[in-house]
Amino acid sequence: MRFARKVWKLLVAVKDALALLFLLGFFGIIYAALAARPAPGRVEDGALLLTLDGTVVEEKSRPDPLRLLMSSQGPAHEFAASDVERALRLAATDDRIKVVVLDLSRFVGGRYVHLHDIGAGIDAVRRAGKPVLTFANVYADDGVQLAAHASEAWVDPMGGAFVAGPGGNYQFYKGLFDKFKVNAHVFRVGTYKSAVEPYMRADFSPEAREDLKLVLDSQWSAYRAEIAKARPRAQLDRMTGDPVAFIKASGGDMAAAAKAAGLVDRIGDKTEFEARVEKLVGKSTIGHGDADDVPDYAHTTLATWLAANPVKTDGAAIGVVTIAGEIVDGDAGPGTAGGDRIARLLDDHVDDGMKALVVRIDSPGGSVMASERIRRAIMRWRNAKIPVVVSMGSMAASGGYWVSTPGQRVFAEPATITGSIGVFAVVTSFEKTLADFGVTSDGVQTTPLSGQPDVLGGLSPQAEGLLQSSVEGIYGQFLARVGAARGKTPAQVDAIAQGRVWPSSDGQRLGLVDQMGGLDAALAYAAKLGGVGNGAWHAVPLKDKPDTFGALLAGLASDSQDEASAYDFAGLLATRQRLQMAQAITRLDAMLGAQGVQAYCLECAVAGDYRAGQEKPVSGSTLALLARLAGRK
């Protein structure tokens, strides 16, 4: 009997080993297939189909394989704004593309600057004499911005369009902290540094409200001007002034109201829309098998189009490093600006013989330590006699401005948010909370700082003084870095700093920005500084090696991402609500986690960030403790 058990264990072990070898071989084959250079797909004469079923971002994030394996839902799709714009501009000059189609049925959104650049790409297609058609079940602000540039904007009969405008509410936690007697120790420099106000107040201070209103008014003016230019007959002011009355004037029919407002041109369902496109380009000659969601008209998808049109690599190389998302310590990203990761990218390529470096920034800031790590890495390019030019995207504020200081020329776009020169730190302690449960603290110290900061027993006056002095010292370094970069004294910088946020036009007037222009303008200027002259040049993005395994899992998971969702008006609002809740929890957790001194812009978050799929699990000790205490009340 004992012998039989040993034989059985041996057989089980052999079976497990064979299964493991099979799985390793299976994934090895998949990895090899993905790692191989993909062959471009066939470009079909007809329509360029851009199915934007997700968010438009500055930099696509890297999927987390572990979270994908544990999640029951695939990640939200992300589309790099530069990819979409490049695809449009290529379509404008390629005779194979007769029509451009933007399917916005499941479009979640994007920041104004990115959509503005894509709108310029749509305009280029139309100037080439090619129609651009859009379709959506319902258009929100972001979709309306893109559809305004189309020659035909279609909406489903059960849908509509609405414009809410930038802005909204932000959560304040002082009442929550007071309820549980949590002591939020706030250390900051800057009258306008409002990022800490949610832990000090129940609402915005007058200074922060004034600052935020300036930024939002600037964004709203830019948005309205773009819609008016693209669609002169659009009745945007009438629609936003009294939206309920405007809808009622059309008998409660939101689709009819959208057409009456000039925001859409035609009302029809997806079948009717596809029939219209098929009439323009003809029926597809490529078989699609059993894929029911693939339209019958002749078309080429975004991925196929980009693969068939690789970026040219003629002439001199101009490096481009992207600093997108919150700046954090460590290796995070892409999609989040991990200081160690970006510094490593810069250091790995500083000796590659590039003629210049363009630093593309789309960040509200974050960790001062990580910001300085990135700044020093950029300065190593300057020290190697390589010109550095900065290109600001939708925002380059606080830590995002800190990393811009090595630039010899700073470009910003008309709706860029910048400035927010100020720093802060928040440390929470629970001595009053624990006292309610009979927990007290006592001990022996060898110096006034022994055991400090003590989050359970409370911070000593010496610890508080040390933290405030540290914040003030870092603020002084911030002023000095900006002053040296912009030819100002620290006192002159302080007069426009104090955490205040500026639209790019004011930033240019105040000397924080040199010139209005997008990434292309910054690249051209960098090539000039690099001595390229009239010679050819090309951009070289500094990127990490692709995570093919994560990409595989993301592709498999995304197939079922939104199959059952119908984005009517209520459905779109529900999606936005889910994202807003996730972002609110993430912000609170990030602010109360174990972090150092921060240079972060609150106004940038309020101004809108539809970065779907970036929610991370809540792990902050403060939230965990509050949740436990709430369960005992």
> Catalytic residue positions?
193, 398
Report how far residue 353's alpha carbon sits from residue 532's, in angstroms, rounded to the nearest whole number.
Answer: 13
Tokens 């779907």 sit on residue: 612
Residue 248 half-sphere exposure, CB side, CA atoms within 13 Å? 4
Cβ neighbours for 266, distance < 8 A, ≥ 6 positions apart: 152, 153, 154, 155, 259, 276
Kind plus residue range of the DSSP H or E element containing 338: strand 337-338
Report how far residue 133's alpha carbon sits from residue 329's, in angstroms, rounded to the nearest whole number.
Answer: 43
The DSSP code for 17 is H
Report how far residue 298's alpha carbon sits from residue 288's, in angstroms, rounded to the nearest whole number.
Answer: 11
Cα of first residue to Cα of last residue in the chain, in angstroms, is: 59
Phi, psi (degrees; rounded to nearest 5) at 631: -70, -20
Kind plus residue range of the DSSP H or E element containing 34: helix 2-35
CA torsion angle 306 307 310 311 (round to 10): 40
Is residue 122 within 8 Å of 147, Cβ to Cβ? no
Cβ neighbours for 616, distance < 8 A, ≥ 6 positions apart: 586, 589
Q: Where are the alpha helices (DSSP H) in 250-358?
A: 254-260, 270-281, 302-308, 339-349
